[in-house]
Structure 1
Amino acid sequence: MLTRTQRDPVAGDVVALVRAAQAGDRAAFADLVAAHLPVLYGFVGRALNGHADVDDIVQETVIHVMRGLGGLRKPDRFRSWTIAIAYREVQAYLRRRAPDLAHCREPVPEPADPGADLAERTVTALMLTDQRRELAEAARWLDEGDQRLLSLWWQEVTGQITRAELAAAMSVTAKHVSVRVGRMKARLDAVRAVVRALRTRPRCPALDGLVRGWNHVPDPRWRKRLVRHVRDCRCCGQHRRGLPAPEALLPGAPAERGKSRGSTGHTDR
């Protein structure tokens, strides 16, 4: 079992550790990995919603880091390079588990992080308020690509990674990241309004009729139907207004980002 440390070396220390590890210093590699485990657990944990396989994905990422470290030509890029590897591991995992995960309606109650940091920073924290519960529920409606982008973006919002590292993990430019994040947030807001409408009691009669026959498992077809209904329905449309910025609901995010704003006007694709 991997353990973590509170050490967070500055860039110069990382470069020195990378070079030492590339030269065969096992202690340097252990220090390097330990210093980056928090960001790995944070990203993978959010991407998998605290699933029991988080530990395995982090372990696989570390194995790939160990095998590929000798070919890393720019030691100062170690952090973004490692995040990119984790991103690819999450993609591969979700592709393998897509049929199973599609029917998983509830998150695993005990996250895999042995230090319980994931529980505090993801599952438990997101359940503290109704708005955070809505955000967590809405995230389950997003496509896999948007879910992975959301996980990376959360890391950026809370200061765990930079925009450049996010872009590197996705193999796109920073400008392209801004466009993709904007679209992802618009889709997230659309399904947040759907979640609110579905939870409202008494529920809109038209919405009640629409969801008859639905198995209550989020999927793209129902997302499009429900987003369209909320957008066009006078009763449900009110749920699109006054949504707090998702940044304001993330544990560790700056308090000044807590201002509410209305709907972005984007619709589901």
Structure 2
Amino acid sequence: MPSQIADAVDLVLIKTASNGDSRAFAKLVSKYERRLKIFGMRFFKNETDCDDFVQEVFIKVFTGLKSFRGDSQFSTWLMRIAYNTAINAINRRKECVSLPENFEILDTTSDLEEKQLREMTASVIRESISELPEKFSICIVLYFYYDMSYNEISIVTDLPVNTIKSHVFRAKKLLKDRLAEQLA
């Protein structure tokens, strides 16, 4: 139910913003900016590039707002634009997909040794994901870190759902093998 309310609020903001209300668009930016920054840090190596990416995405969203048909959630449409923008930027810059250095597994203990083990594990996971083929790393990041369904990833990446399932399955297998090798 809260999701339906949020979707309805988004639709009102979209309609109002597409009619020229800058305050409505500012509310959309405020609501989704953090999500886009986190998403952008998966692709870019520094905050400046990430900020440029977020700005470019919101410019594209603003100029294309009237084309949003509502066939999917606004957040899915937004992430599709973000994904395409990131891939285009990467192709221009030839950077690779990576998790940010500050990625960490939630720490629920104060034990120093266990904390160091968690940090080492997060580092190994980050490194292992960055070594995956790009098509696998993108799918695994969207699936696990953005909690997107196969259908949502399909919409964002423009790949068939079965291809997404295959990429996630293969990525998990590769990660399992690499992690077992590195943590042994």
TM-score range, shorter chain: 0.7 to 0.9
Q: Distance in 2 between matches of 1:49 and 1:194?
A: 27
Match of 1:148 in 2: 138
* Cα RMSD, aligned residues only: 2.7
Q: Deviations over 1:41-85 (max 9, x none)?
A: 121212335554111111111111111111112275321111011
For the pair 1:136 / 2:115, whether they are aligned, the reply is: no
> Are the aligned partners of 1:43 and 1:155 in contact in 2 as well (CA < 8 Å)?
no
User: Which letter does structure 2 place at the counterpart of 1:183?
Assistant: R
TM-score normalised by structure 2 residue count? 0.77
Opposite residue 147 of structure 1, the aligned amino acid is S
- CA gap 1:42/1:162 in 2 versus in 1, 3 angstroms: farther
Any idea what the Cα deviations from partners look like across 1:197-255, whole Å, max 9, x if unmatched? xxxxxxxxxxxxxxxxxxxxxxxxxxxxxxxxxxxxxxxxxx4xxxxxxxxxxxxxxxx
What CA deviation, in whole Å up to 9, does each residue of 1:63-110 have, x standing for no partner?
111111111122753211110111111111221222xx47xxxx8xxx
Residue 74 of structure 1 corresponds to 70
* 8 Å contact from structure 1 (residues 87, 169) kept in 2: yes
Label 1:49 to 1:142 Cα distance change in 2 as closer, same or farther (>3 A). Answer: farther
Contact 2:103–2:122 (CA<8 Å) still a contact in 1? no
* Secondary structure class of the residue paired with 1:47: coil
Counterpart in the other structure of 2:102: 123
SS class of match (2:104): helix
The structure-2 alpha-carbon separation of the partners of 1:50 and 1:193, relative to structure 1 and needing over 3 Å to count, comes to farther
Query: TM-score of the superposition, structure 1-length normalised?
Result: 0.55
Larger of the two Rg values belongs to structure: 1
Whether the 8 Å contact between 1:14 and 1:32 is mirrored in structure 2 is yes
**Is the 1:20–1:28 Cα contact (8 Å) retained in structure 2?**
yes
Alpha-carbon separation, structure 2, partners of 1:10 and 1:166: 20
* 8 Å contact kept, 2:143–2:149: no
Which residue is equivalent to 1:38?
A: 34
What aligned pairs does 1:1-269 form with structure 2 within 5 A after superposition? 10-48=6-44, 52-74=48-70, 77-98=73-94, 101=95, 123-125=102-104, 128-157=118-147, 161-196=148-183, 239=184
Answer whether contact 1:22 1:70 (CA < 8 A) is retained.
yes
Shift of 1:181: 0.9
Question: Contact between 1:137 and 1:195, CA under 8 Å: does it hold in 2?
Answer: no
Structure 2 counterpart of 1:167, which letter? Answer: S
Instruction: Tell me the distance in 1 between the aligned counterparts of 2:52 and 2:45.
Output: 14
Q: Which runs of 5+ in 2 are unaligned?
A: 106-115
| C-alpha distance in structure 1 between counterparts of 2:55 and 2:154, whole Å | 23
Cα distance change on mapping 1:136 and 1:62 into 2, 3 Å: same
- Identical positions, percent: 24
* 1-structure distance, mates of 2:146, 2:150: 6
More helix by share: 2
SS of 1:125's partner is coil
In structure 2, distance between residues paired with 1:177 and 1:31:
32
Q: Contact 1:45–1:54 (CA<8 Å) still a contact in 2?
A: yes
